[in-house]
Amino acid sequence: MPLVLRPRSLDALPVSLAGATPDALAEKSLKELEQLPIWQGNRQLPLAELFEVAGTATDLQWRLEGDFSSVHHIASGMRRGEVHLAGDAGRHAGQEMRGGMLVVEGTASDWLGAAMRGGTIDVDGDAGDHTGGALVAAKVGVRGGRILVRGNVGTHAAERMRRGWITVLGDCGEWAGHQMRAGTLMVFGNCGPRPGASMRRGTIALLGGAPELLPTFRYACDYAPQALGLMLRDLTGQGIAAAQNVTTDVAIYNGDLLEGGRGEVLVARG
């Protein structure tokens, strides 16, 4: 039986689940979990005072039920296990994950998967700004793992990304892939202005509506990259119908020329 958490009557103060992950608490008994100190605002309270707690943590399976939009750092730092949230998530969900899986049936707020190093995040709805982005003052952002957002995301997705794969099935805000180092960002919907600004390496695939690129990007050629076809097949295998109707014929632009021009933006032709 998984560990089940349901919010009690939370007030407007934010709650942080930082450090509370399936792998970190697998050896805790139910009574120990109920007494786990959790931050709400500037004070610590027992977990059972904020959430109904049931089940067991030994199988590394957690199920969160209800509105968690004021609960931040869900699955932050997780290395193993699975967290399934039947509701909305607050900020920093999946931040610095190194393994395991986070599934959000609702929406996620800002900083989803920020500084992630491994594992998988799957969000049914929208996500906020800085999805798969870098923490403030950090030199790099995501270093591994996969993020799939089936709705829209806000600004600065994949900022300073180093490795990994981020897929957005809806629209993406401006500054996508800002200062990108490597890795892949795929956008199936419309993309906002200035994608790839100051990128050094990496790939941004704009498979829906693409904005006019910055003048520091240079057209290279029309091509059908084999790697793009393989990634679309992978998504199709996950049951993502949108990946079946996307062409692999793209126009390739290199940039940002101010940063050496080794990055690439793929724009779907037609």
Backbone angles phi, psi at 27, to 5 degrees: -90, 0
What is residue 245's predicted lDDT score, i.e. its pLDDT? Answer: 86
What is residue 35's predicted lDDT score, i.e. its pLDDT? Answer: 97
Domain ranges of the chain: 110-268
Instruction: Give me the residues of the chain with pLDDT under 70, please.
Output: 270
Maximum alpha-carbon separation in the chain: 62
What is residue 241's predicted lDDT score, i.e. its pLDDT? Answer: 93
Distance CA 43, CA 41 (A): 6
Helix, coil or strand: residue 133: coil
Backbone angles phi, psi at 214, to 5 degrees: -60, 150
What is residue 44's predicted lDDT score, i.e. its pLDDT? Answer: 96
Is this prediction's pTM over 0.85? yes
